[in-house]
A = this chain, B = another copy of it.
Amino acid sequence: MSSAASDVRLGENVSVHETANLYGCIVGDNTRVGAYVEIQRGAVVGRNCKISSHTFICEGVVIEEEVFVGHNVTFVNDMYPRATKNGALRGRDDWVCIPTRVRRGASLGSSATILAGVTIGEGAMVGAGSVVTRDVPPWTIVVGNPAHVLRSLPAGDAS
C-alpha cells in the first residue's frame, strides 16, 4: 500500500507511516503522520505538527504550524451530508465544502470531533473526546459535548 499518493506535496523531513493514506494534500517540514491516518485532497498541514494515528483530516481543513493532533481525531466539512441526490450518489459538485482552521500551536486531544466551519484559536487545547461545534478562543481549554470553555491558558504556553 502506498502511504502518500504522487499528488501529495511533502516538505523536508516529513515522516508518514506506511499505513497512512494521503492524497492531494500538502504537509509541511518535519511533520509526523501516524498509522491509519487519512488526509484528503485539498487539506493543508503546516510545519512541525504531529498527526497521531487513526485521525481523519478532510478537504477544507487548514492546520497551521506546531499543532498537536491526537489519535482518532475527526474533522467534518459538511453540516448536512447526504449520500444521494435524486436517487444517485452525490458527486463533487453536489455539496459545498465548509472550511475549518486550526491555528498555530493548538492541541486537539484524542477522539475529538471538529465540526465544519470552526476556527480553533492559537495555542488552544481541545480536551480528549470533545465535540467542537463553534470557534475555540485562543489560549483556552475546551471540553465536553458540545465543547465549552473550561479555563484560560497563559499565552505562549505552547512552545
Q: Which residues of A contact B (CB under 8 A)?
A: 1, 17-19, 21, 30, 32, 34-36, 38, 48-50, 53-54, 56, 58, 66-68, 70-72, 74-76, 80-90, 105, 107, 109-111, 113, 115, 125, 128-129, 131, 143-146, 157-159
| CB-nearest residue of chain B to A72 | B74
Q: How many copies does the complex hold?
A: 3
| Least CB distance, A42 to chain B, in whole angstroms | 15
Q: Is the CB of A113 within 8 A of B111?
A: yes
Main secondary structure of the interface of A (DSSP, over half): loop
- With both chains docked as a complex, state the minimum distance between the C-beta of A120 and any C-beta of chain B, in angstroms: 13
Q: Looking at the assembled complex, report how far the CB atom of A152 sits from the nearest CB atom of chain B, in whole angstroms.
A: 14
Which residues of chain B come closer than 8 Å to A34, judged between CB atoms?
38
- On chain B, the residues within 8 Å of A75 by CB distance are 110
CB-based contact A84/B48 at 8 Å: yes
Nearest 6 Cβ contacts at the A-B interface: A129-B131, A113-B129, A68-B83, A111-B113, A66-B84, A74-B111
